[in-house]
Structure 1
Amino acid sequence: MLAFGSAQGQTTTQAPAAAVKAETPVQVVERQLKAYNARDAAAFAATYADNVELLDFPAQLQLTGRAKLQAAYTQFFASAPKLRCEILHRSVFGNRVIDHERVTGMPDGKPLEAMAVYEVENGLIRRVTFIK
């Protein structure tokens, strides 16, 4: 936390809210990953924009909206108590975080590998395109 004081160090005040740096796209996606691995649907959904879109490559819409995302992942997490996502490779290009992911603990027992392209806008994930 930033603090400012007088020359004698007698007074201290916090920095204005505007001075606090927003999360980077990587930090947002990493927070989303931690919530996923904890199977915390509310924390997971909190990293997404209200109007989030989940697509299968190249542009097949699978889900729209944070509320639907949270409902879907609440059910999914309940069905997969050993679910875990591991990042095999990550690339960053501006506001896009591109992860090569391996997911284990799926309900069918088979591991899944995919590429996920996360587009972050205003500190939230706005769109994810999965390449399977």
Structure 2
Amino acid sequence: MKVYFSFTLLMLFSIVAQAQNLAQDSAAVVAPAALQLKGYNNRDIETFAKAYSDTVKVYSSPGKLSYQGKEELRKRYGSKFASTPDLHCELVNRIVSGNVVIDHERVQISKDRPRMEAIAVYRVKDGLIYEVTFISPNKN
């Protein structure tokens, strides 16, 4: 009986430790996605760019490379932040699996235009986003 109890207790501790490790891993994967969203909504290019690797690849749709590199990202978003004072992204839903963060977003470009639905798929390695793919949901 003592062996059975000891084994059960050991298994329980193992399960709790695994759950804690998964939560820590998930938080580390989410951190750069949260940081870039903060930078985006504050139109702060420095905070925004900190979330990305130097060699980030940005896809405008699955398999369609739009551009590559943090300097290009900085240039494009820097000018976007400067020219769109109403820019804001609302996080609708977030899914995290392994090193992937998938955000469903509503993006406001201008107060006189409706918000756009968007999906961003971020791939994270070593605490930085190394690849992002934007998907525009089809509207019928």
Contact 1:87 1:102 in 2 (8 A): yes
Q: Which residue of 2 aligns with 1:44?
A: 48
Q: Which residue of 1 aligns with 2:62?
A: 58
Q: Paired residues, what number?
A: 112
**Given the superposition, is the C-alpha separation of residues 29 and 81 from structure 1 closer, same or farther in structure 2, using an over 3 Å criterion?**
same
Q: What is the alpha-carbon distance in structure 1 between the residues aligned to residue 49 and residue 133 of structure 2?
A: 16
Task: Give how far 1:79 is off.
Answer: 1.2
Structure 1 alignment gaps of length 5 or more: 1-20
Q: Which residue of 2 aligns with 1:17?
A: none
Task: Give how far 1:108 is off.
Answer: 7.5
Structure 2 residue matching 1:50: 3-state secondary structure:
strand
Deviations 1:83-115 (A, max 9, x none): 110111110011100000110134983421111
Answering whether residue 83 of structure 2 is matched by residue 79 of structure 1, we say: yes
TM-score (norm 2): 0.74
TM-score (norm 1): 0.78
Q: What is the alpha-carbon distance in structure 1 between the residues aligned to residue 104 and residue 47 of structure 2?
A: 22
Q: Percent identity?
A: 45
Q: Which residue of 1 aligns with 2:128?
A: 124
Contact 2:90 2:106 in 1 (8 A): yes
Answering whether residue 106 of structure 2 is matched by residue 102 of structure 1, we say: yes
1:112 pairs with one of 93, 101, 116: 116
Task: Give how far 1:27 is off.
Answer: 1.4
Q: What is the alpha-carbon distance in structure 1 between the residues aligned to residue 127 and residue 87 of structure 2?
A: 26
**Given the superposition, is the C-alpha separation of residues 61 and 92 from structure 1 closer, same or farther in structure 2, using an over 3 Å criterion?**
same
Structure with higher helix content: 2
1:32 pairs with one of 21, 33, 36: 36
Q: Which residue of 2 aligns with 1:90?
A: 94
Structure with higher strand content: 1
